[in-house]
Structure 1
Amino acid sequence: MNFTDTAWQVFNKSIEDYHVLDNVDTPINNTFPTDSLERILYAKNWIDTVQWHFEDIIRDENIDPVEALQLKRKIDASNQQRTDLVEFIDSWFLDKYKNITPKTDAKINTETPAWAVDRLSILALKIYHMSLEANRESASEEHRLNCQKKLDVLLDQKKDLSTSINQLLTDIENGDVKMKVYKQMKMYNDESLNPILYQKEQK
């Protein structure tokens, strides 16, 4: 089984596990072995899945403003966790390929393996939820047909993205692509970089 097949299975297990209770407060129950790649991928998708539903909730026009602010803080924290875990996955790949010497003419990809994996994780969520809509009995036939068309596009995208990720990993293994990682350096959560936060401290 190639990497993306494994990742896809893990992502869908996470999504299915979440929807047993379908509650953003459900604690994660990651049963994959400690230090395994599968455990890391499951944790990554669990964050994405919970945040997906945070984003649904906060779009309720009747949400209490206080609750909305609290939820916005949770979304910010979730975004930071997501970024941290993506960078951790890239560290895993860097360690895996540490003994690979890139060729002198090796290319640099536009994104790292982990950020491509991040897109695959989100795509798994899109496909899961679009499939629900394409088969929702309470919806109109027109709605279901429109969602089925979108689902077909998403499934095609999944095929292409999976192929691209596997090709990227093969190119890194062969030395045809040099893996280079840049930290995201997000500023909005950093009290020393966000002017709203550090100006508040100076008052």
Structure 2
Amino acid sequence: MNFTSKANSIFQEVIDTYHIVNTVDQPFTNKYDEKDQLIEHLLYRKSWIDTVQWHYEDIIRDPQIDPVAALTLKRKIDASNQDRTDMVEYIDSYFLKKYADVSPKDSAKLNSESPAWAIDRLSILALKIYHMNEEVERKDASEAHRAACQTKLDVLLEQRVDLSTAIDDLLRDIESGDKYMKVYKQMKMYNDDELNPVLRGQK
């Protein structure tokens, strides 16, 4: 099984599991052991963060939402974004370690994004596909709406094939030395007490 087949399967598993209870407040349990199944563990956690945040973003767009509740939810979204970025770095660290002994060829090139950031897009794409398919199957929607959503779903499915192929190609190129990884750690300024002038002014 290639990498993205495994990843897409885990993403679907997470999304299906989330929607059994279908609430952002449900407890999280990772079914994969961190010691024995590290990459599966990371992918499962990453997808869960993305799935919960998808629903946070739905809730906060409610025009009738209480302003105090909206502020609380905004803080949760901020924290979720940080968790999402952290998970991307953990996944890239996994690949850096996995390919640490590979010597890049003299002709090796740097990819425009790291493997984990491409995997991040694949995780979000799984959510788009799931929810677009829900619209296609909505019994209370018009036929025109369902048809329009089917057209969009077809594009999303094609996009997943293309992105999956590109990720698998990238990993093979890194493994063979035709490309090399270079990871830049996050340098977010707005969460830093010293770099955000608003936070710095409150110290």
- TM norm. shorter chain > 0.5: yes
CA distance in 1: counterparts of 2:30 and 2:177, whole angstroms: 34
Q: Provide the secondary structure at the position in 2 that maps to 1:98.
A: coil
- The equivalent residue for 2:79 is 77
CA distance in 2: counterparts of 1:19 and 1:68, whole angstroms: 23
Q: Do structure 1's residue 19 and structure 2's residue 34 form an aligned pair?
A: no
Q: Which amino acid aligns with 1:198?
A: R
Q: Do structure 1's residue 46 and structure 2's residue 48 form an aligned pair?
A: yes
Of 13-22 and 190-199, more deviation after overlay is shown by: 190-199
Q: Do structure 1's residue 7 and structure 2's residue 7 form an aligned pair?
A: yes
User: What is the Cα deviation at residue 34 of structure 1?
Assistant: 2.2
Percent identity, please. 63
- The equivalent residue for 1:94 is 96
User: What is the Cα deviation at residue 30 of structure 1?
Assistant: 1.2
Q: Do structure 1's residue 65 and structure 2's residue 80 form an aligned pair?
A: no
Q: Provide the secondary structure at the position in 1 that maps to 2:188.
A: coil
- The equivalent residue for 1:170 is 172
- The equivalent residue for 1:55 is 57
C-alpha RMSD over aligned residues: 0.7
User: What is the Cα deviation at residue 130 of structure 1?
Assistant: 0.2
Of 91-100 and 181-190, more deviation after overlay is shown by: 181-190
User: What is the Cα deviation at residue 191 of structure 1?
Assistant: 1.0
Q: Where do 5+ consecutive residues of structure 1 fail to align? A: none
CA distance in 1: counterparts of 2:148 and 2:202, whole angstroms: 49
Q: Which amino acid aligns with 1:13?
A: E
Of 188-197 and 168-177, more deviation after overlay is shown by: 188-197
User: What is the Cα deviation at residue 200 of structure 1?
Assistant: 2.0
User: What is the Cα deviation at residue 29 of structure 1?
Assistant: 1.7
TM-score, length-normalised on structure 2?
Answer: 0.98
Q: Which amino acid aligns with 1:11?
A: F
User: What is the Cα deviation at residue 32 of structure 1?
Assistant: 1.2
Q: Provide the secondary structure at the position in 1 that maps to 2:26.
A: coil
User: What is the Cα deviation at residue 199 of structure 1?
Assistant: 1.5
Q: Which amino acid aligns with 2:172?
A: T
Pick the aligned partner of 1:126 from 121, 125, 128: 128
CA distance in 1: counterparts of 2:86 and 2:161, whole angstroms: 27
Of 185-194 and 111-120, more deviation after overlay is shown by: 185-194
Of 33-42 and 54-63, more deviation after overlay is shown by: 33-42
Q: Do structure 1's residue 146 and structure 2's residue 148 form an aligned pair?
A: yes
CA distance in 2: counterparts of 1:87 and 1:187, whole angstroms: 17
Q: Provide the secondary structure at the position in 2 that maps to 1:200.
A: coil
CA distance in 2: counterparts of 1:115 and 1:27, whole angstroms: 26
Q: Which amino acid aligns with 1:85?
A: M
- The equivalent residue for 2:31 is 31
User: What is the Cα deviation at residue 33 of structure 1?
Assistant: 2.0
Aligned length: 201
TM-score, length-normalised on structure 1?
Answer: 0.98
